[in-house]
C-alpha cells in the first residue's frame, strides 16, 4: 500500500511501519476542506485501506531543510 500512496500528489512522506499500523503518510493540504476531500474521496475510494487515523499539525516549530539567508 505504501507504494501506491507514494504516487499520490500532495503526500510529502510515505513510510512503512511496524506495530498496529503498517504505513504512515504526511499530507500537505492548504486547508481543512482539502484534507477532508483527500481523506474521503482519495483514501476512502481505496479498498486496501480499512482504517485511517489523522493528527493535523497546526504549527511547525522546527523542520529539516537547507539554511538560507
pTM over 0.85: no
Secondary element (H or E) of residue 24: strand 23-27
Mind listing the pLDDT tens digit for each residue in 6-36?
Answer: 899 889 999 989 988 889 999 999 898 999 9
Mind listing the pLDDT tens digit for each residue in 47-69?
Answer: 888 889 998 888 888 877 776 76
Tell me the C-alpha distance between 4 and 43, whole Å: 11
The confidence score (pLDDT) of residue 69 equals: 67
The confidence score (pLDDT) of residue 38 equals: 93
Tell me the C-alpha distance between 38 and 27, whole Å: 9
Residue 12 phi/psi, 5-degree rounding, is -80, -35
Residue 18 CA to chain centroid, in angstroms? 17
Which grid cell sits at 19?
Answer: 506495530
Amino acid at each position: 500500500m505504501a507504494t501506491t500512496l507514494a504516487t499520490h500528489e500532495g503526500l510529502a512522506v510515505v513510510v512503512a511501519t511496524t506495530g498496529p499500523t503498517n504505513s504512515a503518510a504526511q499530507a500537505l493540504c492548504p486547508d481543512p476542506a482539502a484534507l477532508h476531500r483527500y481523506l474521503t474521496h482519495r483514501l476512502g475510494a481505496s479498498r486496501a485501506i480499512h482504517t485511517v487515523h489523522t493528527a493535523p499539525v497546526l504549527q511547525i516549530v522546527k523542520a529539516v531543510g537547507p539554511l538560507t539567508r
